[in-house]
Amino acid sequence: MDLETPLRSLLSELGLDLYDLEMVKGTLNVVVTKPGGVDLEALTKANRQVSEWLDVNDPIAGRFTLDVSSPGLERKLRTPAHFISTIGEIVTLRELRSDAPTRRLEGTVIAADETSVTLEDTEHGRVVVPLEKIERARTVFKWGAEAKPSPSRAKSVASSTRKGG
């Protein structure tokens, strides 16, 4: 049974998008997103709705565990849509090569389509990788990428620009 279509519809009613759906070692992983991020309340509602739908429709034979989560800061990339959504972002991936050892690439995604992703790799330059040759991939979160002003610094800047009267 196709789970993606009914779960996508069910999650849409909650204001969520289905990011990924995968059965791994007896666990059904349902990964959801929404603009602005997913909070604990949204995850709780999604878990309850998906669980109830699975109980009623019983689409999976045998026992399994349901895991509803958000993709997190470093999102797993598996589908063409995942790669297309990362254009302009930094990703890391392991490329399987039949004629050479597996290599790890990291760089900015400059293009992606249904069959490949193009990276501006930090070491190798522009590299086109067929999606079927990707062992695993994820986005890269850079800690401290943008410095935010501290409240005390912002306050002192604001007070120094205030006009007296």
Q: pLDDT for 125-144, tens place per residue?
A: 999 999 999 999 999 987 76
How far apart are alpha carbons 95 and 101 in whole angstroms? 9
CB atoms within 10 A of CB 30: 25
pTM over 0.85: no
Quick: pLDDT tens for 55-107. 888 888 888 889 998 887 888 898 899 999 889 999 999 999 888 888 899 99
158 pLDDT exceeds 60?
A: no
* CB count in 10 Å sphere of residue 53: 16
Average pLDDT over residues 28-51: 90
Structure confidence at residue 116 as a pLDDT band (50, 70, 90): very high
Question: Residue 161 to residues 28, 47, 152, 153, 154: CA-CA distances in angstroms?
Answer: 56, 50, 14, 13, 11
In CATH, the architecture of 4-69 is 2-Layer Sandwich (3.30)
Q: What does the domain layout of the chain look like in residue ranges?
A: 4-69, 80-139
* Fold held by 80-139: SH3 type barrels. (2.30.30)
Percent of the chain residues topping a pLDDT of 70: 86
CA atoms within 13 A on the CB side of 115: 0
C-alpha pair distances (Å), 115 with each of 93, 120, 124:
15, 17, 20
